[in-house]
C-alpha cells in the first residue's frame, strides 16, 4: 500500500479541488485552470483513482427540491457486540446517507433524509425491528446551516 500523505502533493490538491467544484470538467480544462499539462492531470487522476483517494464522481443534489424536506440524525444503541453487522444492515436502508461508529453512550449515528413523517416513522420502526438494536433516539434537523461533505484538501 502506498503512503497517501507522502504522495498527495500540492498539485494533487489543486486537481482535486477543481473536480470537487465541478466533476464534469475535462482534463484539458483542469490543466488550463491550474497551469499544467493535460497529460499531467490525466496521469495524476489515474493514480489518485488507483490509490483509492478518488473513489468516484458524483452529482450534488438539492434534496429539498426533490421533496426530501426532513433530515434526521438518529442515535442507535446495539447489544451483544453486533455493531458492525447492524451498521451494514442500516447502511442498506434506502433513506440512509451516512452511518458512523461513535464514542460515548451510544454506538452509532445515522444521517438520513425523508419526504414526510410517514417515511421517517417507517424507517425508525425498521431500525427498531433489527436484531440487537436496543434503542434509538432521533433528532429532526430544523435548519441546515451547512451540508457539504466535500473537504477541500
Question: 85 and 122 share a domain?
Answer: yes
Give the Cβ contact number of residue 110 at 10 Å: 23
The whole-angstrom separation of Cα 49 and Cα 51 is 5
State whether 67 and 136 are in the same domain. yes
Contacts of 79 (CB under 8 A, 6+ apart): 132, 133, 134
Domain count, the chain: 2
Residues 31 and 71 in one domain: no
DSSP 4-19: HHHH--HHHHHHHHHH
Please give the model's pTM, rounded to 2 decimal places: 0.80
Domain span including residue 12: 4-50
Give per-residue pLDDT as tens, 41-89: 999 999 999 999 999 988 888 999 999 999 999 999 998 788 999 999 9
DSSP, collapsed to helix, strand or coil, labels residue 99 as strand
Mean pLDDT (the chain) is 92
Amino acid at each position: 500500500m502506498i503512503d497517501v500523505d507522502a504522495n498527495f502533493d500540492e498539485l494533487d490538491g489543486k486537481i482535486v479541488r477543481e473536480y470537487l467544484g465541478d466533476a464534469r470538467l475535462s482534463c484539458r480544462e483542469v490543466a488550463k485552470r491550474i497551469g499544467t499539462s493535460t497529460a499531467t492531470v490525466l496521469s495524476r487522476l489515474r493514480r489518485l483513482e488507483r490509490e483509492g483517494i478518488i473513489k468516484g464522481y458524483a452529482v450534488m443534489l438539492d434534496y429539498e427540491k426533490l421533496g426530501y424536506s426532513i433530515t434526521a440524525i438518529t442515535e442507535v444503541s446495539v447489544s451483544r457486540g453486533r455493531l458492525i453487522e447492524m451498521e451494514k444492515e442500516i447502511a442498506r436502508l434506502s433513506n440512509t446517507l451516512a452511518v458512523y461508529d461513535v464514542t460515548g453512550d451510544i454506538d452509532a449515528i445515522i444521517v438520513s433524509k425523508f419526504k414526510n413523517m410517514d417515511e421517517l416513522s417507517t424507517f425508525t420502526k425498521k431500525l427498531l425491528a433489527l436484531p440487537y438494536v436496543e434503542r434509538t433516539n432521533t433528532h429532526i434537523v430544523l435548519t441546515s446551516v451547512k451540508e457539504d461533505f466535500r473537504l477541500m484538501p
